[in-house]
Structure 1
Amino acid sequence: MATKTLRRRLHHGDVDGRKQEHFDTAGSDGLSEPLLGKYGHDDSYSEACVHENHQEIWDERRRERLHWTLLFSQLIAQWAQWLANIVIGSGSLLGRLLSLPFIGQNGSDRKNIQPSLSPLQEERLRNLQQRLEVPFDGTHLEHQDALRQLWRLAYPDRELPSLKSELWKEMGWQGPDPSTDFRGGGFISLENLIFFAKKYPDWFQRLLHKQEGRRAEWEYPFAIAGINISFVLAQMLDLQSGRPTSLAGVRFLELLGVDEMAFDNLYCVAFQMMDAQWLAKRASYMEFNEVLKSTRTQLERELALEDVSSIKDLPAYNLLNQ
């Protein structure tokens, strides 16, 4: 029986950032096994081979479109930042009046802001922070049901496995028990994956099955990537503190005022942006950290754009409309 291209699994260490991500080398701990398993039938594999040339051409065109879309969004953000630097940095009266901070070269804020929040923003921020404080508990029935729901959304035509099964590796978990992979990501990272699967089912399936573009031989694991994205967003938006004071965090609070699910919606944009950068860079899983960092930097730049008043105004949101 034909097998898929072998993809080794990414070990991310503690998702809470206290440990650096690391990657197992070939032959250690049996990590030469396929991440996504085997083809189900020989005939499906043969059919894939028949259409290989046509699919390769389509993938290359798709990759080019993603590359140019991503590049265009980056140019918009960089141009806006360059213009802000000129205006704010000048000695003009306008430059002295403008006190908004801007993103530095390393993606960090030059100055913290003390935001004034409406009662609605206060309430939604408090609710979001409460969600972030909930750890994943594999013994909790609600959390178990959420895992089952994720499986049904990911594989609607397949039988639901037990909560400890080798089949979970096909979704990109590191082992047969997904509950061991959440760590600092918490329950909200599972909620984010479910939200993505419900709101953008087509893109969820494309990223889950790596259907877009020309892929690396060793791909990033889908579920583990999703957990990392949830944590990176919370860190970038400064949501662990009492009240965000970073530029990205303050701009996010503005979006939260008009969209209660702004964090979940931003998560979908970030996941798609990460995958687009993965394809544009022709990355392999050894470069996962680099792609994740560049995704964070790009999101910070786009959140700094003055005309962004909703998640849909982000240039990267266009990636979900393709």
Structure 2
Amino acid sequence: MDTTLSDPITEPLLGNTRQEEKSKIYEPITRSGFLDGTRQECLRWAHLLATFVAQSARNIANVLSEFGSWLARLFGCSASKSSLNGQTVPVNLSPLQEERLRLLRQRIDVPYDCSSVKHQDALKELWRLAYPNRQLPPLKSDLWKEMGWQNSDPSTDFRAGGFMSLENLIYFARNYPDSFHRLLHKSDGKRAEWEYPFAIGGVNISYMLVQMLDLQSGKMRTKAGVHFVQLLEDDDVAFDNLFCVAFRVLDSQWLARQASYMDFNEVLKSTRVQLEQELTIGGISRIQDMPSFRMLKS
């Protein structure tokens, strides 16, 4: 038996049998045939190159399109999230904060009732605090206009602020009497010929604060509101104290702008902006920590 190993060089890479070599016949190439072949080869390469370029362009376009879609989804989701955060801000409140917020919202919902003895007595108390040395006028009298009510019947001027705005004014007079009387009598600075009415100004400030803190919606949708409700833990009259600060800020900005009666709404808006900034600067654990609070003591 022949045990000679086959030559590994001549052994086919696949298979075990040797293939017969095919005979090759030399065919001379004429000049025209050479040119035709060259032209066809060039055309073939040109076609391949054009196909490659076109395919590459499509691939690049697809990549850019996918990347653009990804960016759109990315920023679209971020905007939606930001918008959602602008609508509702989750807040964790303690039972005490929840209760004080509930009571505050109850106060907001109470309109001034001219037939209520309690409300009438509160209005009389405001007069006594404002003018301790003067006789109390009837509930309908032009003397009420001296305090800054628009009508001889103050009960018609509480529409926006409700009964709580009257409570805010009384709190201001009782707890910060010096500041209260300086604003009432326009004692500070160079005053305008046509001043804002004191009492009506207070009603508008109460209403502005309710809007700024978003207290009527039942949801915290403003940063100022979120920070404010945290203050209720240690201060059950935080809103009343904020009212007093707001009144001082408004009068300070009024003087700085040399404003007149027709500028009141603009001054009220700028007052809101300043209060929002102070409530959210950080390190504020009570209204007394606000930078503008010191104006109540000056």
* TM value normalised by structure 2: 0.71
Q: Are 2:160 and 2:204, in contact at CA under 8 Å, matched by a contact in 1? A: no
Aligned to 2:102: 126
Contact 2:182 2:188 in 1 (8 A): yes
Q: How does 1:50-89 map to 2 (within 5 A)?
A: none
Deviation above 3 Å: which 4+ runs of structure 1?
109-112
Deviations 1:252-298 (A, max 9, x none): 00111110000000000000000000011111111000000000011
Contact 1:171/1:221 (CA < 8 Å) preserved in 2?
yes
Match of 2:209 in 1: 233
Residue type at the aligned position of 1:307: G
Identity %, equivalent residues: 63
- For the Cα contact (< 8 Å) 1:115–1:245, is it kept in 2? no
For 1:102-251, list aligned pairs within 5 A.
112-251=88-227
Higher relative contact order (CA 8 A, sep 6+): 1
State the match for 1:17 in structure 2: none
1:184 Cα offset (Å): 2.2
SS at structure 1 position matched to 2:160: helix
Do structure 1's residue 284 and structure 2's residue 269 form an aligned pair?
Answer: no
| Structure 2 match to 1:83 | none
Instruction: Point out where structure 2 has 5 or more consecutive residues left out of the alignment.
Output: 1-80
Instruction: Using structure 1 for the length normalisation, give the TM-score.
Output: 0.65
Instruction: Show the counterpart of 2:229.
Output: 253
Matched, 1:304 2:265: no
CA deviation vs aligned residue, 1:32-88 (integer Å, no higher than 9, x gap): xxxxxxxxxxxxxxxxxxxxxxxxxxxxxxxxxxxxxxxxxxxxxxxxxxxxxxxxx
- Bigger fraction of residues in helix: 2
State whether residues 112 and 247 of structure 1, in contact with CA within 8 Å, keep that contact through their aligned partners in structure 2: no
1:306–1:137: structure 2 CA closer, same or farther, 3 Å change rule?
same
Q: What residue in structure 2 maps to residue 22 of structure 1?
A: none
CA distances 1:132-173 after superposition (whole Å, capped 9, x unpaired): 000000010000000000000000000000000010000000
CA shift, 1:241, in A, is 1.3
Counterpart CA distance in 2 for 1:206 and 1:177 is: 24
Number of equivalent positions:
216
Question: Given residue 225 of structure 2, which amino acid in structure 1 is its aligned partner?
Answer: G
Say if 2:88 and 2:219, in contact at 8 Å, map to a contact too.
no
For 2:147, the aligned partner's letter is M
Any unmatched runs of 5+ in structure 1? 1-100, 103-108
Pairwise CA RMSD? 1.5
